[in-house]
Amino acid sequence: MSASGQQAGDLRRPGSVVPQRVKQSLRAILNPVVRLAMALHLTPNGVTVIGLGLTIVASVLVGTGWLLVGAALLAVGSVLDAVDGALARAQGGGTPFGGFFDSTLDRSGEAILYIGIGAWLLRTQADPILPVILLMVALAGSFLVSYAHARAQGIGLAADVGLAPRTERLVLVIVGVALAGLGWTAGLIGALAIIAALTIVTVVQRIRHVWNLTQAAASESKEN
């Protein structure tokens, strides 16, 4: 990814809760993996499918109680998750299907991960009501953030604003699973509560943002 591409990426997402240095170190890992994928003649869509496969394995591991191994695999998967797009750019630009496929499988992976965490909470917690409801709100909130973005794109608007885009959510949930793996379940429940709260705020931010954009467009077309 070029420096200007990075900057554009940063400018599009103000108010992120993940420090820039975390994002930068993720990017530093990215380039050698992209070169490896090219050497192995993998297509971007192939990398997307491998990424979903890793997430499914990680989710089964988390669901069956191997939380630390699952969190480590999710961290590896989160790098792969950026590789498909970077590989597509390195090969001269992605296809419309590739972008659609990547986004849809990203959402599937997010859901599968939350279901794995849900299975673990249901199996191990004496009173799973609050944690599982927080998990469902976090899952639904995450989906709504992505849905609002995609739906705005459908009417030609960019709803990239908000506190909880995908990378931030992923870092929070991986840290939460790792904390639970270290024996501190309240860390996971806290991470889910933070994701639930941040995603609800982000959905409201995106609805307001699209409202402002459509109002600005309407008053502009009246003036002309």
Q: Does 184 bind a second copy (CB under 8 A)?
A: no
Say how many C-beta atoms besides its own lie within 10 A of residue 98's C-beta: 18
Cβ closest to a second copy, residue 93 vs residue 96: 96
Dist CA 218 CA 3 (whole Å): 35
30 versus 148: smaller Cβ distance to a second copy = 148
Binding of a second copy by 49 (CB under 8 A): no
**Is there binding between residue 216 and a second copy (CB under 8 A)?**
no
- The answer to whether 160 is a known catalytic residue is no
How far is 22 from 25, CA to CA, in rounded Å? Answer: 5
Report if residue 61 touches a second copy, rule: CB under 8 A: no
Angle between helices 129-154 and 96-124 (to 10 degrees): 170
Q: Which of 81, 106, 127, 160 is catalytic?
A: 106
* Subset of 110-139 contacting a second copy (CB under 8 A): 111-112, 114-115, 118-119, 122-123, 128-129, 132-133, 136-137, 139
Shortest separation between residue 183's beta carbon and a second copy, angstroms: 22
27 in contact with a second copy (CB under 8 A) = no
Which of 27, 147, 160, 175 lies at the binding interface for a second copy (CB under 8 A)? Answer: 147
Size of the site for a second copy (CB under 8 A): 46
Enumerate binding residues for a second copy (CB under 8 A). Answer: 95-97, 99-101, 103-104, 107-108, 111-112, 114-115, 118-119, 122-123, 128-129, 132-133, 136-137, 139-140, 143-144, 146-148, 150-157, 203, 207, 210-211, 214-215, 218
Residues designated as active site: 106
